[in-house]
Amino acid sequence: MRRRRAYTLIELLIVVAILGLSGALLVPRLVDADTFSVQAAVRSVVADITFAQTDALAMQRIRRVQFLRDANDRVHGYAILAPTDQNAYDTVFDAANAEYLDSPTTVGSDGVFIVDFDADDRFSGVEIESVNFGGRDWVAFDALGGPLAAAGQPLAGGGEIRMRGESGAYLIRLSGFTGKITVESIDE
């Protein structure tokens, strides 16, 4: 007669214990989704500033990263501009007449390079607290990828962007002259 093989009680208890331990380790990481949102937003800003810098170098044209403000002066996103008049890259930003860089893949931007944290669910709960590039809310890059201030002058002092979510805050720094970008976690 053939004997049927089944799992013993010990084997079942071991499997349940392993699943319980795995769940205990994994659930806290999944519950803290805000951490992922803040980090994704920081990575997006860094990647897009780097893109603007390399696009300026590749196309030998000035590119400007303009941070966008709402009616209450709150920064809610940014855009990459591609001005046709290379001598007028530092004019006052006018959203209606700005010359945006084309980006058919940017979420909800109608084919132009605009990233709006309010309109993109990936960045929910994340805010850009402050932007300062020598007293301006924009930075431009010259044909060699170097950061520019107004009137064709190099951005000597660099700049910074502060971002915050419920789980923490980050400081993105852009070095003057070189355009090197660094990120650090900050606790205030």
Coil, strand or helix at 116: strand
Q: Measured between alpha carbons, how far is 115 from 48 in angstroms, rounded to an integer? A: 9
- In order of their start, the domains of the chain are 32-186 (3.55.40.10)
pTM to 2 decimal places = 0.80
Q: pLDDT-based confidence at 35, cuts 50/70/90?
A: confident
Per-residue pLDDT of 41-82, as tens digits, reads 999 999 999 999 999 999 999 999 999 999 999 999 999 999
Q: pLDDT-based confidence at 110, cuts 50/70/90?
A: confident
